[in-house]
Structure 1
């Protein structure tokens, strides 16, 4: 075996797939079902607008793979490039948007600014109080419930051994490589890839690489189905926690944001929503889409996400242990990056270099 991947979310399953595509033999281990952690709790946003600028090359790489996802995976994971529309309600947020658009242009992202008249003409019924919006037409959304299992299934067809619901009892390192003792036997490999999400901190700490990671859960919900009419993903430029929503083709409105995320104990990692926050979320949603005023919310959910102190992920080689690699802590904005993360980590592991710059995400930035 060439590589052991720890973690069966989008990062781990896509990394396993792209490693196999590069001819590596891989075993993937997860303590729970595939895709049942932060991936399944995700909103499903394929968004480049508002990102940390040095992250845009990785986001561009990921978007190319999202566009090819159905061909790569052999199934539809409901990626739709319907655009990302972000409404503006005050002059300060408009200044933020314009500053980001100008700064992002050299990084290869073009954002269209809409004034209030353009917004009403092109997207009637949205944000009656909005003074404008930004529009990124190539972005969109995908189904978080489908994508990690799809990558795992595609990887399995290429020879990857997928081991869900497998407890990790110990991890050791020697000159021979890594030995991972699990509830289903011992695995040995010269390379270990840590894609354990909110639990990635614990794996890294075993090798002397502690990071300032905390665990929180998003406040997500979905409404009853409505006639399908809203194609772009909707959000807002906000000085605080902005709301966001999208309509799936079956008609339901999926929404999140607008409130502070709730703390989650990573052991056992069972996240719960705060029902008291729903009213605040709904007020923000109605500001964007007044037609939701009399619509029923049929379900709420959350999940365990890992947030690093600087809200940037850890990606790249370990600073202490040869053969150890990390890709975790995506701080609530990793879904869009997922396929790009897997592809980039596979390239780095297989060749020793990566065409996409990863230096800003090096774990050694937290070394003391």
Structure 2
């Protein structure tokens, strides 16, 4: 019988959270083995919109988002490759029929300024002169000039390869099927009958984390949804910030960005049904048509542009729209980082650095109290 593979830390899940954690753990000198069912960065981490935004997050999350943005700004040098991070800004807009949203954005901007997030409020002629393509329904906007966007297809793999160069061992096409703790070590078995051991286990398995959580006697009511994504033919490059609609109405919640090649990447509005047990999600044509109608409200001239590709992925969600992040409440040496509710891409590098700090030192300067898994414990 082959001897189990041993390391200091074992990670289940090779999205941006797991790969960034592996990278920063190796920077701290811990040996790391990461298991990924498919290919690294293939699921939610590689199929999302690519927003590197801080505004719109809960104020208590901004310290983590700020930690992450510092890594994004240094990503090319840190990872040794270009993940197409563009610091061209991020803008939220609201429509005229919801003026109360503009008031909330104003209030948020004042509070966020205390957390090192500078937001510029725009309306009227100032907004129209800078963004003349916006539709007549747009009332006001909040612009974060120091945020941006990046290519999600490149980012997870970039962290994985950088971690490997530092000595991490990454197994792709390696599905973990069970995890248990025996004595001082966690034992993880895979679908191809391999066994891995480590005194520390980090679960970053996204929509598939629930199996492992419940195996350790805890609960997290995860569900999954598929973002509706598309990309247009290339246009002359003219739009710097990524732009999204701030609204409580899911159908209206459209967003888009332009890459340097000129294509517009579009997401938001309705989401698709997922089949995580089969690792599949299917685009609903009605969702794509509805998304396109919403885009024309925000950017009327886009109606003359061609869509060249659509796609989706499997994202994990929790009832309070906040992730699980931090130590297990039941098992020592067990840590979690999953359930980022469609808003984890920007946070990914900061999550990796924070989890590495927590695992290596037993503490972190980031407040994780809002993300405790114990909040879902049954009374």
TM-score, structure 1 as length reference: 0.97
Match among 65, 68, 92 for residue 62 of structure 1: 68
Confirm or deny that 1:245 pairs with 2:256: yes
Confirm or deny that 1:20 pairs with 2:20: no
Confirm or deny that 1:334 pairs with 2:344: yes
Cα contact 1:87–1:127 (8 A) shared by 2: no
What residue in structure 2 maps to residue 348 of structure 1?
Answer: 358
What residue in structure 2 maps to residue 189 of structure 1?
Answer: 198
Match among 295, 305, 310 for residue 300 of structure 1: 310
Q: What SS is found at the alignment partner of 1:49?
A: coil
What residue in structure 1 maps to residue 3 of structure 2?
Answer: none
User: Could you list the runs of 5+ residues in structure 2 that have no partner in the other structure?
Assistant: 1-6
Deviation at 1:202, TM superposition (A): 1.5
TM-score, structure 2 as length reference: 0.94
Confirm or deny that 1:4 pairs with 2:10: yes
Q: What SS is found at the alignment partner of 2:138?
A: coil
Cα contact 2:276–2:314 (8 A) shared by 1: yes
Q: What SS is found at the alignment partner of 1:154?
A: helix
Cα contact 1:80–1:142 (8 A) shared by 2: yes
Deviation at 1:108, TM superposition (A): 2.5
Deviation at 1:106, TM superposition (A): 2.5
Deviation at 1:184, TM superposition (A): 6.2
Deviation at 1:130, TM superposition (A): 1.7
Confirm or deny that 1:215 pairs with 2:221: no
What residue in structure 1 maps to residue 4 of structure 2?
Answer: none
Match among 142, 167, 186 for residue 175 of structure 2: 167
Match among 114, 129, 135 for residue 127 of structure 1: 135
Cα contact 1:93–1:239 (8 A) shared by 2: no
Cα contact 2:272–2:287 (8 A) shared by 1: no
User: Could you list the runs of 5+ residues in structure 1 that have no partner in the other structure?
Assistant: none
What residue in structure 1 maps to residue 52 of structure 2?
Answer: 46
Q: What SS is found at the alignment partner of 2:353?
A: helix
Bigger CA drift: 169-178 or 157-166?
Answer: 169-178
Cα contact 1:313–1:327 (8 A) shared by 2: yes
Deviation at 1:177, TM superposition (A): 1.2
Q: What SS is found at the alignment partner of 2:277?
A: coil
Separation in 2 of the partners of 1:26 and 1:232? 37
Q: What SS is found at the alignment partner of 1:178?
A: strand
Confirm or deny that 1:32 pairs with 2:32: no
What residue in structure 2 maps to residue 255 of structure 1?
Answer: 266
Separation in 1 of the partners of 2:362 and 2:179? 23
Cα contact 1:212–1:308 (8 A) shared by 2: yes
Separation in 1 of the partners of 2:45 and 2:309? 18
Q: How many residues align?
A: 367
Match among 314, 324, 330 for residue 314 of structure 1: 324
Q: What SS is found at the alignment partner of 1:280?
A: helix
Cα contact 2:273–2:282 (8 A) shared by 1: no
Q: What SS is found at the alignment partner of 1:85?
A: strand
Q: What SS is found at the alignment partner of 2:143?
A: strand
State the Cα RMSD in Å.
Answer: 1.2
Separation in 1 of the partners of 2:62 and 2:211? 28
> Deviating runs (4+, > 6 A) in structure 1?
none
Separation in 2 of the partners of 1:168 and 1:94? 47
Bigger CA drift: 232-241 or 76-85?
Answer: 232-241
Confirm or deny that 1:99 pairs with 2:110: no
Match among 261, 272, 275 for residue 265 of structure 1: 275
Bigger CA drift: 162-171 or 188-197?
Answer: 162-171
Cα contact 1:16–1:342 (8 A) shared by 2: yes
Separation in 2 of the partners of 1:327 and 1:51? 17
Match among 238, 242, 246 for residue 229 of structure 1: 238
Q: What SS is found at the alignment partner of 1:291?
A: helix
Separation in 2 of the partners of 1:204 and 1:77? 32
Match among 150, 155, 159 for residue 142 of structure 1: 150
Separation in 2 of the partners of 1:127 and 1:111? 22
